[in-house]
Amino acid sequence: MGKTRIIAETGAGQHGVATATVCALMNMECIVYMGKTDVERQHINVEKMKMLGATVIPVTSGNMTLKDATNEAIRDWCCHPADTYYIIGSTVGPHPYPDMVARLQSVISEEIKKQLAEKEGRDYPDYLIACVGGGSNAAGTIYHYLDDERVRIVLAEAGGKGVETGQTAATIQLGKMGIIHGARTFVIQDEDGQIEEPYSISAGLDYPGIGPIHANLASQHRATVLAVNDDEAIEAAYELTKLEGIIPALESAHALGALKKLKFNPEDVVVLTVSGRGDKDIETYLKFTI
């Protein structure tokens, strides 16, 4: 495409690190927008991005999280259309981004199919569970099963301090149809259509919109959406760590927190995507004693 400059937004920093990595490999300029709140709570990923040669720009508008970083990235993109390519970190933004990101992430469900066929003798599970911020790891998890009605889809969004508290990012439960970052989808907004500040303990789920694909799946009741609160996610993260020796990312911990809200049969095959590792979240985890 002849572009020489790469920009990205990031919440938890995972997408920023991925983008910085590819830019280091290709020797391209890399600029990552990240809310100042997230720069502080996910500073390990900030150090990784800097080490990889990226410039991290802390964003100080709004509540200084993912929405605000995305605003700034889109502003930059609009101002530099000739030389800049914007790598979006989730199934959000204007078309064709949500579709493109979902297709790229679909390697996850391709892998699920392969591994289930090998390990369970059938290539579909009874349940697929994933957390949703913008929706990319969930989209990848469900992509090849969308039309397979045998598979129940469960999406875990961030309840924050509770869906009723006003400090939440439970977009599918609370959102109304609106426009955010170029997509028509559910948005947490006030009566005048002003986007409200979301809240979640996890930087990656702290977004007042949701991918249009997921909004559609929820409207059609193809997906069950559960809000998992901060404390439920923390408890689930500690449980996975103790039982399996896997420290999950705070975002993934929300998917794990959904397990207790569901009723399974002993023979059910349940696949849950652990979207990231929890090294970046150790400081947050250590603030809680379980």
Ligand X SMILES: Cc1ncc(COP(=O)(O)O)c(C=O)c1O
Is residue 134 a contact point for ligand X (CB under 6 A)?
yes
Is residue 251 a contact point for ligand X (CB under 6 A)?
yes
User: How far apart (Å, rounded) are the C-alpha atoms in residues 26 and 11?
Assistant: 23
User: Which position among 252, 257, 259, 271 is part of the footprint of ligand X (CB under 6 A)?
Assistant: 252
Is residue 136 a contact point for ligand X (CB under 6 A)?
yes
Is residue 135 a contact point for ligand X (CB under 6 A)?
yes
User: Which position among 6, 7, 11, 258 is part of the footprint of ligand X (CB under 6 A)?
Assistant: 11
Is residue 137 a contact point for ligand X (CB under 6 A)?
yes
Is residue 171 a contact point for ligand X (CB under 6 A)?
no
Residues 6+ apart with CB under 8 A from 278: 237, 241, 247, 248, 249, 250, 252, 253, 285
Only one of the segments 188-196, 229-237, 244-252, 257-265 lies at the binding site for ligand X (rule: CB under 6 A); that segment is 244-252
Are the beta carbons of 59 and 68 closer than 8 angstroms?
yes
Nearest Cα residue to 45 out of 206, 249, 194: 249
Are the beta carbons of 68 and 62 closer than 8 angstroms?
yes
Is residue 35 a contact point for ligand X (CB under 6 A)?
no
Is residue 16 a contact point for ligand X (CB under 6 A)?
no
User: Which position among 238, 276, 284, 285 is part of the footprint of ligand X (CB under 6 A)?
Assistant: 276
- Nearest-approach distance from CB 200 to ligand X, in angstroms: 10
DSSP characters over 186-231 = EE-B-TTSPBPPP--SSGGG--S---HHHHHHHHTTSEEEEEEEHH
Residues that bind ligand X (CB under 6 A): 11-12, 14, 90, 131-138, 204-205, 249, 251-252, 275-276
